Amino acid sequence: MRGQPVTFYEREKIEMFVRGKWSLRHIAKSLYRDHSVIVREVERNKDADGVYRCRSAQERADKRMSRVQKKILDVNDVLRNWVIQKMKIGWSPQKIAGKLKNHPDSQVAGSYVCHETIYQYIYEGDGRFMGLYQYLVRKHKKRQRKFARKQRKERGIQFMTPIAQRPKEIHKRVEFGHWESDSIVSRESKPALNVMRELKSHRILISYLPNMTAEMTEDAMRTQIEKEGQEYVKTITFDRGSEGVNHFKLRLDYNIDTYHCDPYCSWQKGAVENSNGLIRRFFPKYTDFSLITPQEIYVVQERLNNQPRKALGYKTPNEVWRELTGGVVH
Domain ranges of the chain: 8-67, 72-135, 163-325
Rounded Cα distance between 258 and 248, Å, is 7
User: Quick one: how far is CA 108 from the chain centroid?
Assistant: 24
Helix (H, G, I), strand (E, B) or coil at 321: helix
Least confident span in 20-29, 181-190, 203-212, 232-241? 181-190
What CA–CA distance (Å, rounded) separates 268 from 270? 5
Count CB neighbours of 159 within 10 A.
11
Q: In what order do the strands lie in the sheet with 204-209?
A: 204-209, 192-198, 178-184, 235-238, 257-260
Is the pLDDT reported for residue 147 higher than 60?
A: no
Closest CA to 60 of 39, 82, 43: 43
The pLDDT score that the predictor gives to residue 1 is 57
Q: What percent of the chain has pLDDT over 90?
A: 65
CA dihedral 281, 282, 286, 289 (to 10 degrees): -140
pLDDT confidence of residue 155: 52
pLDDT over 80 (residue 272): yes
- The values of phi and psi at residue 146, to 5°, are -95, 140
For the segment 52-78, the average pLDDT, to the nearest whole number, is: 83
pLDDT tops 80 at residue 71: no
310-to-18, 88, 92, 273, 317 alpha-carbon distances in Å: 51, 19, 10, 17, 11
Burial of 2 (0-12, 13-18, 19+ CB in 10 A): exposed
CA 73 to chain centre: 21
Pairing of strands 192-198, 178-184: antiparallel
Quick check: 322 and 223 in contact, CB under 8 A? no
Nearest to 28 by CA among 85, 18, 19: 18
Residue 192 backbone dihedrals phi, psi, to 5 degrees: -145, -175
Neighbours of 18 (CB within 10 A): 19
Which of these ranges, 7-21, 57-71, 98-112, 270-284, has the smallest mean pLDDT? 57-71
179 membership: H or E segment, kind and range: strand 178-184
Give the model's pLDDT for residue 103. Answer: 81
Which residues of 17-65 form beta strands (DSSP E)?
Answer: none
Within 8 A by CB and 6+ apart from 38, the residues are 14, 24, 25, 27, 28, 31
* pLDDT tens for each residue of 181-223: 999 998 777 899 999 999 999 999 999 999 999 999 999 999 9
pLDDT band at 158 (very low <50, low <70, confident <90, very high): confident
> Is-contact 279 169, C-beta < 8 A?
no
pLDDT at 206: 97
CATH of 163-325, one of 3.30.420.10, 2.60.40.10, 3.40.50.620, 3.40.50.150: 3.30.420.10
pLDDT for 146 equals 55
